[in-house]
Amino acid sequence: MDEMHDFTFEITYDHGADEYMDAFIERDSLRSNALYACFDQTELWALESVTGDAGDLAAIERPLLDDSFDRESVTARSCEGTRTASLLSADHRRRVAYTYISDITHCDAVPTIAAKYVDGGMLLEQTRVGDTARWRILVQDDSKIGLLYDTLGAKLGDGLEFSFVHLTEVDQWQNGLLSTTDIREEQREILTMAVERGYFETPRAVTLDELAAETGLPRSTVSYRLRRATAELAKEFVHSTA
């Protein structure tokens, strides 16, 4: 494939700055992974998967499926257009929703802002956890990424903060939207390390103390992340084989 560029950045939210993000700040189990398509500034598509505990998912359904609820704008001004939202699948640990916004007259969303500067098409992925929305934008032409960077930083509403992560060349791009198991990145990293270092072997080739020393994290943190990751895997396994 042609040379591609991965532009990754994060937007952090103060509590009270955005109603939708408040749900993630207030409910630790919630995690959202979304794919966006926006070929011009008049239309926007989104496919969003939200995972979490059953009670937390019930609380998120209204903003996820309400045609009048704006989840996209990163300024004080709401997106103006015709919104259609539909639930594609639902179970006790996951909701997948499709949103289409047409006839957009104004929208300060990351995809529509990016559409002003990106030529040749793009793919966008967003992950929401806690107070942070991490964006990854895959583009072929990165010549105007600097302008996009400046515009995003300048446009953000009160209580939102922009931080650059990286701009790098890539030859492939993986995302976990359609995976059956959604584990937080920090938990996945610990689980991966534990498997690679032989924590689950008999006898164990590494201890929690050794994993903690290698990561520089407290032993309690490593233990907690490992337990949460294995618990999520167990729940999904039981659910998928029931």
Choose one of 130, 147, 170: the last residue of a domain.
Answer: 170
Q: Are residues 78 and 129 in the same domain?
A: yes
**What are 154-208's pLDDT values in tens digits?**
999 999 999 999 998 877 665 554 454 567 778 888 888 888 888 877 788 889 9
Q: Give the strand pairing for 43-51 and 94-106.
A: antiparallel
For the chain, what is the domain count? 2
The answer to whether residue 109 is domain-embedded is: yes
Q: Are residues 159 and 230 in the same domain?
A: no
The answer to whether residue 176 is domain-embedded is: no
Query: End-to-end CA distance of the chain, in Å?
Result: 41
- Domain extent at residue 90: 4-170
Q: Are residues 103 and 59 in the same domain?
A: yes
Query: What is the value of pTM for the model shown?
Result: 0.72
Q: Are residues 74 and 14 in the same domain?
A: yes
The predicted structure's pLDDT at residue 139: 87
The answer to whether residue 228 is domain-embedded is: yes
Write out the DSSP string of 69-83: ---SBSSSSPPEEEE
**What are 217-230's pLDDT values in tens digits?**
999 899 888 888 87
Q: Are residues 69 and 114 in the same domain?
A: yes
Q: Are residues 19 and 97 in the same domain?
A: yes
